[in-house]
Amino acid sequence: MQTGKQIIAALLLSLLFIKAMIVPAIFVNYELRKDFIIQNYCVNKDMPELHCDGQCYLAKQLKAAQQEDEQQATDTFLTEVFKFESKVGSLVFLFEPKVSTVENKTFGDFSAAVPSSENGSVFHPPQA
């Protein structure tokens, strides 16, 4: 039992380490391939006096990594906020909405919480 916990802890620690190494990996990639990036991706090739040296490409890569990380954090947060449990007797119902963000607008999929009304609605106003 103890070795199972140690394996899981080591696995989670290695995943955290890999996630933390994304930005340094982008910098190492930039430094190792600097000449190739300047030749193929630099937008200021026509103006060498600016000494851009492909830093525009590096900035784009860092911004993309940051946006992906923020997107993942937002999705995780929203899923945890809208998740709830309902206990009825000995049954436990867990409601986890599917959250997806589209162009900075967040929508939750609550279709599972709405009953279908194929054979007529069960819910109707009381008759007087």
pTM of the predicted model as reported, rounded to 2 decimal places? 0.54
pLDDT one-digit tens code per residue, 57-89? 899 999 999 999 888 888 887 777 776 655 566
CA distances from 46 to 32, 51, 59, 65 (A): 23, 11, 19, 28
Classify residue 126: in a domain, yes or no. Answer: no
- Locate 88 and state its tokens: 């009825």
Evaluate whether residue 28 is within a structural domain.
yes
* Alpha carbon distance 67, 61 (integer Å): 10
Asked if residue 113 belongs to a domain, the reply is no
* pLDDT tens string 79-115: 777 766 555 666 666 666 665 655 555 555 555 455 4
Percent of the chain with pLDDT over 90: 17
- Say if 48 falls within a structural domain: yes
125: left (phi over 0), alpha (psi -120 to 50) or beta: beta
Range of the domain at 69: 2-81
Query: What's the domain count of the chain?
Result: 1
**Measured CA distances, 34 to 2, 48, 55, 59, 82 (Å):** 47, 15, 9, 13, 45
Q: What is the pLDDT of residue 40?
A: 87
